[in-house]
Amino acid sequence: MIVLVSGKGKYFANKEQYDRIETEGKALFQLLKEKKDVEFSKNLKALHEYIVGECRQVEVFRNAELIVPPVTCDPARLREVMGI
């Protein structure tokens, strides 16, 4: 599976890695809903580090199944964009 890490490019994640990314993404969404912005930002940074460190970067022309927002995104703005 291909994951777009906003600001860092696209990465190939095997099934195990993708499952972890998806699980952590759902946890991030829950943190957004609960307005736990500090924890959200910390966990988003950790997710970026995991993907960049463990997955293989691929060419940008590949379609992505999952998009991870940039580390610098404002959680309040993200909630607004996502309609939370």
Asked if residue 27 belongs to a domain, the reply is yes
φ, ψ for residue 41, nearest 5 deg: -60, -40
> Taking the model in full, what pTM does it have?
0.91
Asked if residue 81 belongs to a domain, the reply is no
Asked if residue 13 belongs to a domain, the reply is yes
Task: Give the pLDDT mean for 5-18.
Answer: 96
Reported confidence tier of residue 15, pLDDT bands at 50, 70, 90? very high
DSSP string, 4-66: EETTTEEEE--HHHHHHHHHHHHHHHHHHHTT-HHHHHHHHHHHHHHHHHHSEEE-TTSPPSE
pLDDT(36) > 90: yes
Asked if residue 46 belongs to a domain, the reply is yes
pLDDT tens-digit map of 52-78: 999 999 998 989 999 999 999 999 999
Q: Residue 36's domain spans which residues?
A: 2-74
pLDDT of 62 reads: 87
- Residue 22 CA, chain-centre distance (Å), reads 8
Task: Give the pLDDT mean for 42-53.
Answer: 97
φ, ψ for residue 55, nearest 5 deg: -100, 165
How many domains are contained in the chain? 1
Asked if residue 83 belongs to a domain, the reply is no
Asked if residue 80 belongs to a domain, the reply is no
